A and B are shown apart, each in its own frame.
Chain A
Amino acid sequence: MPGISSFLNVAKVAILAHQNNLHVAANNIGNVNTEGYSKQNVTLSPAYMTPTSFGPVGNGVNVTDVTRDYDRFITTTLFDKTSVMSGLQTRQSGMKLIEGVVNEADTNGLNELLSRFWTSWDDVANNAEGTAERTSLLNNAQLLATGLKDRYNQLLKLSQDVDQNIQASVTELNKLTDQVAELNVQIVAAESGHHAANDLRDQRDNLIKRLSEIADISYFETQRGTYTVLIGQGSPLVEGNRSWHLGIEDNSVKWIGQNGQRVTLRSEDVKNGELGGWMAIKDMVKPPDPAVLTGSNVNTASGTNIKYATRWNQIDGVTVTGDFSIKYSGTDQNGLPITGQFDYHASPESNATVGDFLESIRTAFQLPGPPPVDRVRVDLTDDGRIRITDIMPGTSPISFNIESVQGAVYGLNLGQFDKAYPPNYLEQLNTLGTELIKLVNAQHSQGVGLLPLRETTGNFAALNTNQPIGLKASGLKFSDAVQDGSFQIWLYDKNGQVIDADPTTPEVNDPLTIAVNANTTTMEDIKNAINNAVFGGTTTPMGLSARILDGRLVIQANGTSQVAGFGFSDDTSNALLALGLNSFFTGYDAATIDIDPVISRDVRFIAAAQVSPRGTDSLTSANMTREPSRPLGSVVTAGSFSVAIYDKDGKMVDLDDNTAGVNPLTITIDPTKQSLNDIIAAIDAIDGLHAEMSNGILHVRLEQENPEPANNSQHWATVALGDDTTGLLAYLGVGASFSGTQPMNASKSVTDPTQALGTSASGLAQFQGLKPGSFVVNHFDADGNNISSQEIHFDSATTSLNDLVTALNAVPGVNASLSSVTIQGQTQYFLSLTNTAPGQTMSLSEDTSGILTALGLNVVQPELQGGFKADRMAEPLNNIKADMNPGSFNIYLYDKNGQFMGVHNIEVNPQYDSLSDIANRLNGLNDIKSWVEPDGRLHIETEGQAGKFVLADDTTDAPGISGFLAKIGLFTPAGGILAKANNQNALTMRDLSKRPIANLNDATLNEAYHGIVGTIGIQSRGFQQDYDFSKAQVDELQQRRDSVSGVSLDEEMANLIRFQQAYTAAAKLIKMADEMFVTILETK
């Protein structure tokens, strides 16, 4: 029943209730900055009513509950997005670190170092003998190698640092799960009174938030009020009072179960959160796992990745038309070679699958039994690559390479197995280093420095020296670059002069050629080939030794012959690259790149030059031939010739007073004492005759005013020369026009005596000027009287040489005959006329047809002129030497790639052949153009297919006789010469910087590096933008959460005032109740 005491009661509960209100408000204000705090509210409800006679009466207020303002949906969403944002933030900061390594914003990055390296080669090319430029090149190369290696190491260190971050995250995560489990227990205990444990729940939510930041978790609240936290595909982290941990093993995140079992979390499971971010960054820069070999090529069947059961002809892009086999090789865990072959038979097993090939690889690596032990696991990755995993690691990492696919299959590409695919940034940088080394070394190994090498050691050690160097089984890093071909070793003496390895061909210098077959030649084979090398045609050892030291090939000059040094050239097999001989860089990728110590110690060994090649494409003779039309063997010997003069009546004039009768003047020649000038003077001495050499040509003419002989009234009309036993007339190109005892020999020939001389078919050189006419054959008796003159008709269109011979033979006292000679398969016919009448002389005159001159004969005339130039007229005539015997020489042709095309033999018959004849003979060859220059030099050059030619094997020489090639001065470069200023290799090296490289997707080295920097930049930018977007989302959600659960000071302030007023009012109630009591008590 309401009364004062109940009234007091109401006041009391009211005050207490409002005290609570104030307390909670104060709590809120106090926690305004607490992370994750949700605003708490007091729930008031009226106290239980008391029934009275006039109805139920309230009994004041009760505090029934303290609740917190909490929106589960917003919170869950917020934590989710926080996870994503956190992951992106981590990725972004990690990318910035990666970017820092390849930052090219300033000008001292790797790009600049690469540039400077390439341009240094030009400086060396401009002064190949200098040492300053070489030292500068070496410095720049050192900076480049160090720069590349440093960047590689920085990225590697980054991956190791990231490991620590990952470990820290996992440790924190484990601690948090423990704490959440503990809180779960506390909350359940605290909530046993069916009131929510608000602060504990807030705490627990905070822990969940931190957990979300670390990893991608999902959570939900159970009926009992505990949180269950899951990760991945349902692995629990917290359930009730139990918590589980994660661990990092083998570079992946594993969930550790109660009994120690491990479940690996896939990368999709740990995508978000700091953990996911660091794992992603680590993936970008971690070094490849040496125990896992992945194929570089993705294969699909109908668009999806190939599987174990995929048949060969189902693979996209592959057509199988018959049997084929795949050969492979590699090294096992102990470095021993593994070779194998997978055979596919079109029938009957046309349902052979990819899996069969994988099985073949697995069995190849097995340890023989019984039972055989598997040492590798072979499977296919999710994107269709072959993967080989080493499950029994030994002393050396396994290697594998598919050497060849042969047979009736097209388009099958299973890829390379030397890196991890797909490549991350570290791998890309590594590949850049590998390609730089291969590019520079391949070219450098084929060049020579300023001096020959005395010794060279290969940079690469083969694990198995009796395996072919072209197979991976040899253990050589660049074995896949080796192909069938050869390389050359040139030999030098101690003065740096080249030594011919094959003296049987003296005109060209030969190197020692080592042939290489990629599939069969082993390092042992090469060693033996060098050790057993002998000089060509002899059994003398060459003086080079090779040995194998720790798997490396070492070549030295051993001093047993005059060979003191050697140099390399022309490596078509890339064996020098694979063996690491004469290299510029050591190492095989960015982690191991360095400068070859031989070059570091002595810059003279930088191979800027190339050994000069054999042959040339154009040659002009060093020596001039005064008269290219004169037979090369034309000389003047001891003997005599005669000068005859005829008067205007055709009677011979007596010039010789010492003999009876009318005789021509005989001039004897002693070539040892007399010079040409002397002979000319002798002719000139004849009164009335003028002889001189004008511009090198003989001119003999009758002088206008000829003194009449004392007792003779003859007028001199014509002069003739003939009866030459010395060869002088032939030398000067003066045709004989009279004959006493000696034959008149035509100097020009025909090739077909049956054909009309006026046609080209006859082969007469000057057939075109001929016209129908006639000439006269005269005979003179001992008194010089003209006793017969026979006209010989000539029709240019019909008269052949045979006809002429017949016609001439019909003349009494004349014997005409043909002599012939065959040179280079071509027969030439020469006419010869002799006087047969005893005591008589013969002359030729009045040629209207031109045939006599065309044949190289002459007619008597007032003025005679020679046809051939002469010089050195003041020297004794025996200085004129042929200096060559009949013989031949060879011309070797090489095409533009240096491959041998063929050899032609050119005959030289000095008695008949002039320099022009030889030129024509050479010109007749395909691919060679040859002519005689106006100043008498022979010029030979290539045309068409030919790139170079070599002149050699001259058989026209003999002891004391130079031979044709030496006399004319035709020397083709013999090859093998070391010229210090040769900069061929340096120039080629420069070009390398512009060459697209297949392994870098046809980009040049510089472009590939730019690509790496660009890709990193773009990816970083992407993360940045994603992070900005995600952060905006999270901020928005945070705002929303705050608007629900946050503490607004204004609100709380207002609440405080409100509650204070209510408290004051309730306190007033007590005062009032007290007053009421006093009033009652004071009633007496």
Chain B
Amino acid sequence: MRITMNSIYSRINTDLNRLTEALDKTNSAISSGKIYRLPSDEPVAMTHAQAIRNAISDTDQYQRNITYGKAWTTATESTLTQVQDRLMRAKTLANQAINDSQSAESRKAIAAEVKTIMEEVATLGNTKLGGRYILAGSRTTDYPAGVTPLMLNKDGTVEYNGNEDDLRITVADGTTQKINIDGHSAFMATGVFDGLKLLNDGLNANSRGDIEVALGDIDTAIEKVNSLISQIGAQDNTLANKTDMAATFSLTNKERLSDIEETDMVKAVTELQTKQVSYQAALGAASKVMGLSLADYLK
């Protein structure tokens, strides 16, 4: 076949072009760290990478949610534990007061301490975290002046102004977790204040029978609060588990992402070397060929 000058030059052109393109691609993969620059480079890999990035973003959010939720559960658990402590103190007082050696005056003195305990428990019920009441259900703010979720009246009755809603956070795809205990479940349904009020009234009226009944009530209340504490402790544990899971997922996904889209540096640099060598060889050959011509040999 006749090889004309045009053929030679156009061949050199095409081949050098191909080599530079390949070199450029490898170079780009190394400098950007990713195996693709445009979707057409690796379309399927890009689709997977996008999906994984979504998953990572979601998991990161779940971890943020869990951190927020844990603050709540920890605060709630600590508050309820303190309530339980106060109740234990009240129980001790009641046991003391039941003793027949007590007189009306000594019982009145104990009543004063019981009243203080009631006030302390009411204050605990109005615990805030970051400016929001944690034991008021979903009515965490927005109370009129002078109104709080738990209000202890002078006569010893208690009003609960919050609601019984759950507060939930998203901890995984489609899964929410309750992070709070509402005031009704914690204080009204457990009989905490009923027991303390009965004790207070019984002490003030020097009615041993009432003190005895109140002791039983306080015992029941302690048990109920205890089970609430276990409940919130379990919620706390679940959150801890979920956060571990989320962290593991995140790690796995990040690994998968780097597998899919990141350049294997060692392989890429080796390739770069190889392509460089090829390119240099091609350039050398081209320059040799381009310099030859019959015209040089004719005098």
Chain A interface (Cβ < 8 Å from any Cβ of B): 32-33, 95-96, 99-100, 102-105, 107, 111-112, 114-116, 118-119, 122-123, 125-127, 129, 612, 616, 620, 622-624, 626, 675-677, 680, 692-696, 869-875, 934-935, 937, 969, 973, 977, 979-983, 987, 990-991, 994, 1006-1007, 1009-1011, 1013-1018, 1020-1021, 1024, 1035, 1038-1040, 1042-1044, 1046-1051, 1053-1054, 1057
Contact = CB atoms under 8 A, between A and B. Distances in A.
B7 A1053 contact: no
B61 to A, nearest CB: 4
A1006 B209 CA distance: 68
A122 B212 contact: no
A1017 B5 contact: no
B173 A696 contact: no
Given A1010-B50, A1046-B7, A115 B57 contact: yes
B189 A620 contact: yes
A127 B36 CA distance: 40
Given A980-B142, A982-B138, A1050-B294, A1014 B189 contact: no
Contact of B44 (A103, A873, A1014): A1014
Contacts of A1010: 47, 50-51
Contacts of B201: 872, 874-875
29 contacts: A103-B38, A103-B39, A105-B32, A105-B46, A114-B54, A119-B57, A122-B62, A122-B169, A125-B170, A129-B141, A676-B209, A692-B209, A696-B212, A973-B163, A977-B163, A979-B165, A980-B140, A1010-B47, A1013-B50, A1016-B39, A1016-B40, A1020-B40, A1039-B7, A1040-B1, A1043-B1, A1043-B3, A1049-B5, A1053-B295, A1053-B298
A981 B141 contact: yes
Nearest to A871: B213
A671 to B, nearest CB: 16
Interface string B242-274: 000000000000000000000000000000000
Nearest to B34: A105
Interface in B224-249: 224
B91 interface: no
Interface residues on B, range: 35 or more
Contacts of B41: 105, 1017, 1021
A407 to B, nearest CB: 40
B169 A126 contact: yes
Contacts of A676: 209
**Which of A973, A1043, A1044 has the most C-beta atoms of chain B within 10 angstroms of its own C-beta?**
A1043
Given A112-B53, A122-B64, A1014 B174 contact: no
Contact of A129 (B34, B132, B194, B208): B132
A935 B217 CA distance: 7
A873 B209 contact: yes
A507 B272 CA distance: 79
B174 A1007 contact: no
Given A129-B141, A696-B213, A1035-B10, A994 B173 contact: yes
Interface of B: 1-7, 10-11, 14, 32, 34, 36-44, 46-47, 49-51, 53-54, 57-58, 60-62, 64-65, 68-69, 132, 137-142, 160, 163-165, 167-170, 173-174, 176, 184-185, 188-189, 191, 194, 198, 201-202, 205-210, 212-214, 216-217, 220, 224, 293-295, 298
Contacts of B32: 105
Nearest to A937: B189
A126 B176 CA distance: 12
Given A695-B216, A973-B164, A1035-B14, A1018 B44 contact: yes
Given A874-B207, A1047-B4, 20 more contacts: A99-B40, A104-B49, A111-B54, A112-B53, A112-B57, A114-B54, A677-B205, A695-B213, A871-B209, A872-B198, A969-B188, A981-B132, A982-B138, A1007-B51, A1013-B39, A1016-B40, A1017-B38, A1017-B42, A1042-B2, A1046-B4
B4 A1020 contact: no
Nearest to B176: A987
A1009 B295 CA distance: 63
Given A104-B50, A696-B209, A871-B210, A994 B174 contact: yes
Contacts of B50: 104, 111, 1006, 1009-1010, 1013
A1047 B14 CA distance: 19
A119 B59 CA distance: 10
